Amino acid sequence: MNAAEKEKLFAELASNYKASIWRVCYAYLPDRSFAEDVYQDILIELWKNLERFRGESGWHTWIYRIAVNTAISHGRKETKLVVDFREHPADMADDTSAQTQEVETRHQRLHACIAKLSEQDRLVVSLLLEDLNYAQIADITGLSSSNVGVRINRIKPKLHACITSGI
């Protein structure tokens, strides 16, 4: 792949997966300034590793692996963070102007509840919210498909209880 092809492919991937990458950043580092740093680090890792893509999985899975690994590694380097859910992944998307206040409040509550989950459960939920199927989630997380299903069935009541209790 020549330099022009690499630049074109990178720009296309960065554009197509922008919102997904932001959601991973916020799943691990909900503070906006830390998430911005991690987002940039993820893009750097994508650029550096672009020529190493072997096609054994789809672009979505490959990008998620890089995003999750980068976010986890960055999160471990940081000291304890104060979580602020006044901002959430939708703040980074280009299309937030049409959302109503009620939807915003529900998003904030959902993200606050997700933040209370274990790291592995946060990852599973964020991938599920991306409409990935169990096999894709298993591929990214290293869990079996059946274990993904079990985790999701255990996570749902936790989230429901948290959301309905009003945090």
Give the Å distances, CA to CA, from 50 to 9, 13, 28, 72, 118: 9, 10, 23, 20, 30
Which structure tokens are listed for 125? 């939920």
Kindly report the pTM of this predicted structure: 0.60
| pLDDT tens digits, 77-123 | 553 444 444 344 544 444 444 446 766 777 778 878 888 888 889 88
Q: Which of 17-21, 28-32, 83-87 has the highest mean pLDDT?
A: 17-21
Please compute the mean of the pLDDT values over residues 56-82 and round it to a whole number.
75
Q: What is the dihedral of CA 22, 23, 26, 28, to 10 degrees?
A: -110
Percent of the residues in the chain that have a pLDDT greater than 70, as a whole number: 80
Helices (H) and strands (E) counted in the chain, each on its own, are 8, 0
Provide the strand spans (E) within 3-139: none
Residue with tokens 């006044």: 86
